[in-house]
Structure formats: structure tokens, C-alpha cells
Structure 1
Amino acid sequence: MRRRLTVVFGVLALLGSLTTACGGGEETEAGAAQLKIGYQRFGGQSLVKAKGEAADAQWSLFESGPALTEALKAGAIDIGQTGEAPPIFAAAAQTDFKIIATSEPVPQGEAVLVKEKSGYKSFKDLKGKKVALNKGSNVNWLLVKLLEANGMKIEDIQVQYLKPAEARPAFDNDQVDAWIIWDPYFSLAQYEGVQVLADATGLANNREYLLVSPKALEEKGDLIREYVKSYREVTDWGIANPDERVKLIAPELKLEEPVAARALERSAKALAPVTPAIGDEIQEIADGFAALGLIPAKVDIKSRIDDRFTDLLQ
């Protein structure tokens, strides 16, 4: 079973590392504007795609949030969904975007995984050990909060910045002692002999954020409004119909249904509007990254909040 899940994970990561497009160019054959959507192989956007909504859009797949924000900076996509850290790293890299929606908190959707045979009982046991994570992703903030909660500094562990496709074999082969990861990679890695040392409960909200380029807001505002409306409706449908959701999305995610169900049960949350409080929350994360030198200087991420779609998200 472990070997089979490793193979599945490899396929998932390989597919996620590629940018694939569904549809033509930026315009349809009729000459109408076309929305370019960046998505990761999980979250509400995958369900929107699996359900056949926004079928006229150009869909591009990314392995992680940082890769998606690079495409946003390059103009390859108009809109995309990430965790809480990628927007901050993107802002520090001078990427222009607005945050138009968020999600309810998903603290159970990211965790520190270790092998049961290691005997580790708390995060403090990882002092001096190798800990893998994807730099600039939501788990980067979870690491900061774990260190803070345990009275540790980043120098107390050996951080290994690895993408999911690199971290999984390193974890499987005991080349790292722990792996901080998010769903669905988290769910895939929960094979026999793996334990959850800690998740983000009480430490980080681990929200999703919907980012859009200002140019797209200006030129494709109606398409974006229609998409946000569909995104909200499909997400609500999935939460109300979990069994149908799993059957629909498992093939899209390239996951077996039990694995997809486990991830969705803890990580699929409703969309929510961006509010001043949300702005304060993500600004706190940005300030924390700046204080630790994880980004080169402070960024005003709160000013990226754009609440024009609040009416669709309440």
C-alpha cells in the first residue's frame, strides 16, 4: 500500500509541476475575453473545474502557491488560489495583485509528519533534526508559529526547503526527520507508520486566498464576478454533498476516493469575504516573515485587500 501511494504521489507531484492549459488562448474563437485561471490540485477551484464550471476559461495547473504567483506576475494567469504565505512572498517580489476572497480557517489541513519509529512526541524533539517544507508556502508560517510556541529559533532545526515532489521521497527514505505539508499531499502521506506530530490548530488559520491581477480586474471584471459566484456556489454544494463531491473530484485530483475523502473532510471550507480583520491577519504574517528575514523588507499586504465581491461571499 505504501509503495502504491508513493507512486500515486509521484504522479500527482509530476502533474502538479507542469502547467497545463484547457482551452485556447486569451480570447475565444468569437473574440470574447477569456479568463485565465491558475489552480492547484486541491481546494475549491479543483472542484469548480471537475464540475465543469467556467468551461470557457483557460485552466493552468501548478504544484504550489509560489509557482502560481510566479505565473500571476508573468501575466500567464488572471486569477488563482493559494495559501496564506505565497501572497506575501509574491508581494515582496513586486508582484502586482489584489486579494478578493478568502476561506474559513483550515488549521487541520497542514501538519508536521514524522515516522512512528522515531519516537518523537512533540515538536521540541525535532531540535537539531532535518525538517522539510516548501519555502514560501502556507507551511512556512506554520513553522514560524511552531518555533515560537516551543521557545525555539529557526537555527534550532535543520530546515530543508524542498518542493512536495522532492520532500516525499526524502521523507519516505528517512533523509529528513519530519515533513511539514498540506493537503492533499498530507493525506497521501498518511500511510501506516506515519504519525501527525502537530497540526496548525491554535497556531495558524491556514486560509486560502483568491488572488487576481489588477489588469484582469479592470479588463475582465464581469468574468471574474461570474467566476467568483460559481466558485462560491460549487464550494457550498460540495460541503452540503460530501459523498458526491468525493466521487466527482477524486479523478480530477488523481487520488483514490478514501484519500480524497480524508483530505476534503478536514480541508474543504466555505469561501468568505475579505474584511479589515482578514487584512490585519495576513499583515501580521507578513510582518512576522519580515522580522525573521524570510522576506527582504516589510510589505504592505493589507493594502492588497479588495472587497468588491463581498456581496457574493456573505
Structure 2
Amino acid sequence: MRRAYVRFLVAIAATLPLAVSAATLKVGDQQLQTRGILEASGQLKDVPYQIEWFNFPAAQPLGEALNAGAIDVGGLGDAPLIFAYSAGAKIRAVSATRSTPVDLAIVVPDTSPIRNAADLKGKRIATTRGSIGHYLAVATLEHANLKLADVTLSYMQP
């Protein structure tokens, strides 16, 4: 997956000079991952424009910054992109990659009576709005034939 991600970033970096009108490109990053990969791979050497990096704790606030025009480009995962787009964000996906499945889970304390998705009915679920965790909660409820109204979603900061 790392190679595919680096190829994706290199492809984006190659097209960026076409999008940069003011000699400074404002790039949104999550936990400095993109910057770290681009620096380690040498892809930032000798770029013909300045890059101003903006670090975000998660995809949801990065998507908001894209929508507000505060940054020019940034990477979002599938669920945050879909949430942002469906909420009316004026953003566009310009590239996509396919990666191997990611392990995701809903976690409960050892002492919890919750043992399966149907047991979530009437419970509170903490997640970050517009995140992959938010999507996981919605998809899990749907799979268990539960409605969003059957639980209380508590939106937390990343």
C-alpha cells in the first residue's frame, strides 16, 4: 500500500504546478503523513513553487478547510469525502487509490453487555462527525436493521 500511496502523491504533485497560480500551494495534511512521505521520497526537492502546510487532526476538519477555500488541496479517505460531498461541500475528487481492507471495529469495555450490533439499540456511540468511524457506526446499524434514531451518536473531536 505504501508504494501505491507514494505513486498517488507523486501523481498529484506532478499536476500541482498547473493549479498553482500564486506561487504558493496551500496543502492540508493529516498528522503530517503526506508531508513526511513526500519529504522521505524526495518528491519535494526543487519544486517550482512554495508549499504552505496545514496540519489537521483528522479528515473532517481538512474537508471543511477545503470547502471554505482555506487550502488548495488535501487528502481525504472515502467516507469523509462522501460525508463532505453529501453535505454540500464544493470539493472535487481528482484521484483515488485502492488499498487493502483496513481493520475497523466498534470497541466496548470488557464489562459491557454489548456482544453484537443489535445490542447497540438504545446506547450511545462516540465518533467524529464525518469520519470513517461515523460511517462504520451507520453501516453497522444498517446491517443490524437498526435506525439512527435507535442510538444516540455523540460527536467527539478527533
TM-score by length of 2: 0.69
Q: Which amino acid is 1:117 matched to?
A: T
Tell me the alpha carbon deviations over residues 190-249 of structure 1, each in whole angstroms, 9 at most, x when there is no partner.
xxxxxxxxxxxxxxxxxxxxxxxxxxxxxxxxxxxxxxxxxxxxxxxxxxxxxxxxxxxx
Establish whether residue 133 from structure 1 lines up as the match of residue 127 from structure 2.
yes
Q: Structure 1: which 5+ residue stretches go unaligned?
A: 1-30, 165-314
Establish whether residue 147 from structure 1 lines up as the match of residue 141 from structure 2.
yes
Partner SS, residue 82 of structure 1: coil
1:66 aligns with one of 60, 70, 75: 60
Aligned counterparts, 1:69-218, within 5 A: 69-105=63-99, 107-164=101-158
The CA distance in 2 between the partners of 1:89 and 1:122, in whole Å, is 26
Structure-2 change in CA distance of 1:48 and 1:93 (3 Å) = same
Q: Which amino acid is 1:65 matched to?
A: A
Shift of 1:101: 1.8
2:27 aligns with one of 37, 49, 60: 37
Q: Which amino acid is 2:37 matched to?
A: V
Partner SS, residue 102 of structure 1: coil
Q: CA RMSD, aligned part only? A: 2.6
Equivalent in the alignment of 2:37: 48
Indicate if the aligned counterparts of 1:84 and 1:137 stay in contact, CA closer than 8 A: no
Tell me the alpha carbon deviations over residues 127-148 of structure 1, each in whole angstroms, 9 at most, x when there is no partner.
2111111111222222221112
Tell me the alpha carbon deviations over residues 158-188 of structure 1, each in whole angstroms, 9 at most, x when there is no partner.
2111123xxxxxxxxxxxxxxxxxxxxxxxx
Bigger RCO of structures 1 and 2 (CA < 8 A, at least 6 apart):
1
The CA distance in 2 between the partners of 1:111 and 1:42, in whole Å, is 24
The CA distance in 2 between the partners of 1:109 and 1:103, in whole Å, is 17
Indicate if the aligned counterparts of 2:32 and 2:55 stay in contact, CA closer than 8 A: no
Q: Structure 2: which 5+ residue stretches go unaligned?
A: 1-20
The CA distance in 2 between the partners of 1:132 and 1:90, in whole Å, is 19
The CA distance in 2 between the partners of 1:99 and 1:154, in whole Å, is 28
Aligned residues: 133
Indicate if the aligned counterparts of 2:125 and 2:154 stay in contact, CA closer than 8 A: yes
Partner SS, residue 35 of structure 1: strand
Partner SS, residue 27 of structure 2: strand
TM-score by length of 1: 0.38
The CA distance in 1 between the partners of 2:39 and 2:105, in whole Å, is 26
Partner SS, residue 130 of structure 2: coil
The CA distance in 1 between the partners of 2:103 and 2:25, in whole Å, is 29
Shift of 1:119: 4.3
Indicate if the aligned counterparts of 1:133 and 1:139 stay in contact, CA closer than 8 A: yes
The CA distance in 2 between the partners of 1:116 and 1:102, in whole Å, is 38
The CA distance in 1 between the partners of 2:89 and 2:32, in whole Å, is 23
Structure-2 change in CA distance of 1:151 and 1:91 (3 Å) = closer
